Each structure stands twice: as C-alpha cells, then as structure tokens.
Amino acid sequence: MITLHYLKQSCSHRIVWLLEALGLDYELKIYDRNPDNSMAPAELKAQHPLGKAPVLQDGDLVLAEGNAIIQHLLDRYDDENRFTPVHKTDEYSNYVYWLGVSASIFSANLLALLTKRGDFGDFAQYAAAQTPLYFNHVEQTLEGKTWIVGDQLTGADFSLCFPLQWGLNYVNKADYPNIVRYLEQVENHPAYLKANEKNSGGLDLSKF
C-alpha cells in the first residue's frame, strides 16, 4: 500500500499528480500548516527525520524529497516508460538535467522568499536575480516544445511544475509566456485535475 503524507500548499501536490497519472491506488494523508508560522505540524514531522513534505510510504520503504519520490515511482511502476525517456539517449540526459534544475529553482525561490521578508544587504541583490535567471532558461527551452524535454511528458515535468508555480510570485508573468502556457497545460492535465479533487481544489501559492 502506498501512502502519501501531504502538506497543504506545498510541493506534495506534484506527487499526487504523478500518482494519478500512473493510475496507482494510494492513501492520502493531508496535513494543515501551522497557523502561527506556516510550517509543517508535528504530526508530519514525525513521519521522517527531515520533517518535510512530501513523505511517501511504499510498503516498508519511507522516502522524502520530491525528486527521489518521483524517480522511485517511475522506476517501480512506470512499466511502459510513459514518463521516462529511453536510457542512454540525449532525451534521458536532458530529463536528468531538468530534475536537477527544478531543485535549483526551488532553492532560488526560497532565497527570494527570505529576502522578501528581510533586508540581507548585498546578498539580497544576488538572491533576487536567481529566480529570473532560471525562469529565462526555462522560457527559452520551452520555445516550440510541448514539455520540457520535448513531446513526451516526463518525470522532469512533474518535478518542475511546482517551483515554476511558486516562482511566478517573484517574476513578471508577462515576461514568460511559454512558462504561463506550460503551467496552464500542466494544470489542465486530466490527472492534475484529479489531484485537485483530492485536495479540495489544489494549490494557492499567492501567500508564499
């Protein structure tokens, strides 16, 4: 039995999208953020030493970290390679690359959030430039492409969607029409709509 420990308004949502896309049976345990500081509650922190969402339980295996969970689900359950490019191809190498970039965008967004909440001097200028830097790269890469690697929806898209959704808070949307189109495509994917139903309407990242 698969159980996903899901924190509201977090990157947990992309894992529900993948679980729905794979057509897997799973249990979803939803946690509210602490109203005092928006952090994860103690009940969620008890599920894994890192105390972060999402946490996936698959039998005796317990995993945190979104990209590790995505890769585990694809390796274990994507028997037809619907969401993974063929190994030892340029597409597969780009797939691995974009998994890494998605984590970097996540970190850039966190820097932007921290500087938004306080003045860090010269560091603030560096931090403020990071999200646009990555967004420009994604925007150019998406030109003329359906998904980030090409025509195939891959695990990289499941990974990338949340940091882009979050990062839109720190950039001018009008500067990134390809990203806006891409996220509209993500958010209208049938499995993503099912994920929204599991969490009373999906994400609202406007406060982050």
Q: pLDDT at position 142, please?
A: 98
Q: pLDDT at position 208, please?
A: 62
Q: pLDDT at position 122, please?
A: 66
Structure token digits, residue 117:
């909440």
Count of C-beta atoms within a 10 Å radius of residue 2: 18
Tell which residue, 148, 170, 144, has the closest CA to residue 159: 148
d(CA 109, CA 116): 10
Q: pLDDT at position 200, please?
A: 64
Q: Which helix (H) or strand (E) holds 75?
A: helix 66-77
Q: pLDDT at position 50, please?
A: 83
CA torsion sign for 156, 158, 161, 162 is: negative
Reported as a single tens digit per residue, the pLDDT across 95-138 is 999 999 999 998 888 888 877 766 566 667 777 788 999 999 99
Show the low-confidence residues of the chain (pLDDT under 70). 37-38, 117-123, 200-201, 207-208
Structure token digits, residue 63:
């995993």
List the strands of the sheet with 55-58, edge to edge: 26-31, 2-7, 55-58, 61-64
d(CA 112, CA 126): 9
User: Phi/psi of residue 152, each to 5°?
Assistant: -95, 130
The model's pTM is: 0.92
Contacts 24+ apart (CB under 8 A), 164-169: 164/105, 164/135, 164/138, 165/203, 165/205, 166/106, 166/109, 166/205, 166/208, 167/105, 167/108, 167/109, 167/112, 167/131, 167/134, 167/135, 168/205, 169/109, 169/112, 169/205, 169/206, 169/208
